[in-house]
Amino acid sequence: MSTKNNLGTKYIHAGAHPDPSTGAIMTPIYQTSTYVQSAPGVHKGYEYARSQNPTRFALEEAFAVIENGKFGLAFASGVAATDAVMRLLVPGDEVIAAHDMYGGTYRLFSKVYEKMNIKFHYVDTSNAENVANAITPKTKLIWVETPTNPLMNITDIAAISAIGKKHNCIVCVDNTFASPYLQEKYLRPLERGEIRSCFAMTEPEHAGSNPVHMSTTAVRDGDEYVINGHKWFTTAADGAHFTIVMAITNPEAENVYQRASMILVPLDNPGYRLVRNISIMGDEGEDYLSHGEVEFTNCRVPKSYLIGEEGQGFTLAQVRLGPGRIHHCMRWIGICERALGLMCDRAMSRELNPGKFLSGQQTIQNWIAESAAEIKASRLLVLHTAEKIEKEGAKAAKEDISTIKFFVSDVLMKVLDRAIQVHGALGITDDTLLSFWYRHERGARIYDGPDEVHKSVLAKSILKSRALNGGI
């Protein structure tokens, strides 16, 4: 039977060979620093532990098998692995890299290798055409992250590899978040649009603005986690294939930010139940336009379904939520543009009296001008924040993220309200999209952190900076 269809068997046997001296099934941990050499360079495959040892070799072989590769190399850190790849290049070479990537990788490229006369072209690799168009005769490496860190964008590895092969370029793929097993079973179908996912973090019993406080637990029982808890506003749970749930795994951790973990749960699990789609201002919604209330009751999943490491849940959430707020803001700006267009069309076509249109009213003109200015300001703020995340990472852009969250959500509601008012009674019907947007987007000022919390974060940072710089 093919190992492709038996991932568990493949992963169990990968890199495992009986020890020749003892017959041990599992590879022992070899702690020796040096190995016997009958003559310089004449040995049994190992010289010094710093270059290679049997334990590390087994690990490398296992990863090669799991990833369907010919060889594997293990490094002490991700940056060390990245640096090893970059050492394959020489001055004058060019690299095509993902425009969204781990901040440490970007800094290594921009602060170290650009000074060595290696040129980088940053493109959106989720569209293979962007990569193909960026190829030059000097391109030697295509650097891809999938999913990207922090925005979780997905790249078609096969398509990029085909481009690299055509132009004789090395293709390197980096991954932070998912194990090979979870990628193969869940990420690839998600990438192909065959399935959907959802995220279960908010609980009705606790303030959603403080994700540190939650009651959902995941307790280790042998090789499984047993999850119990109650979540709501799990967006798009209706019709999803799996969820990523935030649960307490380390309740005794001194640092409260290290108590929760993220765990993948398939939604056909008998311990999971979608209680209802929550009605939002009278609209229950369905499919991806829904917000689910869900329960986990003695829900068992393998420990391998843990995302990252235990206690990393809050950190991963922050990595994801910062860029996620940018996505929200981009969507809100798009809605604002549509609403402004509808407002203008209505003002230009609605007659107050024969030959006298709404567009001639100064108040309406003021609303149009104010909306246009606020939309433009929102777009510039979001672009600035996105650039800062790209260059310095989400942590460095914390204040900017808070700023755009409350500013753009406020602009959204102002523009929608003006557009509805210009439409009159028509604006509160479902004959236009305005009432739909108003119902569904009023939550913009609440979810992903209430505006008041983000304003407080920004104000505290400003006051702290002023105090440090000699202010009163």
Query: Considering the domain boundaries, does residue 351 fall inside one?
Result: yes
Place 22 in a pLDDT band, splitting at 50, 70 and 90. low
pLDDT above 70 covers a percentage of the chain that reads 91
**19 and 149 belong to one structural domain:** yes
CATH code where residue 333 lies:
1.20.140.10
Give the CATH number for residue 264.
2.40.110.10
Could you tell me if residue 458 is inside a domain? yes
The answer to whether residue 41 scores a pLDDT higher than 60 is: yes
Q: Is residue 288 part of a domain?
A: yes
Element (DSSP H or E) covering residue 233: strand 224-235
Residue 107 belongs to some domain of the structure: yes
Q: Is residue 72 part of a domain?
A: yes
381 or 11, greater pLDDT: 381
Which residue matches tokens 């300001």? 377
Q: Tell me which of 311, 338, 365 is where a domain ends.
A: 311
User: What residues does 199 pair with on adjacent strands?
Assistant: 244
Of 256, 276, 311, the one marking the end of a domain is: 311
Residues 236 and 324 in one domain: no
323, 440: one domain: yes
The residue among 133, 173, 125, 171 whose CA lies nearest residue 151 is: 125
What's the predicted TM-score (pTM) here? Answer: 0.62
Q: pLDDT tens, 341-399?
A: 999 999 999 998 998 999 999 999 999 999 999 999 999 999 999 888 877 777 788 89
| Phi and psi angles of residue 22, each rounded to the nearest 5 degrees, phi first | -120, -20
- 169 and 97 in a single domain? The answer is yes
* Last-in-domain residue among 287, 311, 335: 311
Q: Which residues form the domain of 44?
A: 3-174
Which pLDDT band holds residue 10 (cuts at 50, 70, 90)?
Answer: low
Among 85, 87, 90, 74, which residue's Cα sits nearest to residue 145?
85
CA 459 vs. chain centroid, Å, equals: 27
The residue assigned the tokens 């056909």 is 268
338/424 same-domain check? yes
Q: Which of 336, 317, 337, 170 is nearest to 257 (CA)?
A: 317
Q: For residue 408, is it within any domain? A: yes
Co-location of 137 and 19 in the same domain: yes
Tell me: do 255 and 365 sit in the same domain: no
CA 181 to chain centre: 18
- Please tell me whether residues 16 and 157 are part of one structural domain: yes
Question: Which is more confident, 446 or 54?
Answer: 446
Residue 119 β-bridge partners: 94
Co-location of 30 and 9 in the same domain: yes
For helices 398-423 and 451-468, angle between their N-to-C axes, nearest 10 degrees? 140
Residues 8 and 116 in one domain: yes
| Domains contained in the chain, number | 3
Q: Which CATH number is 39's domain given?
A: 3.40.640.10
The verdict on 305 and 321 lying in the same domain is: no
CB 216 within 8 A of CB 227: yes
Question: What is the strand order of the sheet 94-98 is part of?
Answer: 119-123, 94-98, 139-145, 170-174
Closest CA to 174 of 276, 104, 254, 264: 104
18: in domain: yes
Q: Could you tell me if 413 and 365 lie in one domain?
A: yes
Q: Which two tokens stand for residue 344?
A: 């203008």
pLDDT digits (tens, 9 = 90+) for 101-135: 888 898 999 999 999 999 999 998 988 899 999 99
Position 472 scores a pLDDT of: 64
Residue 187 placed within a domain: no
433: tokens are 């999209």
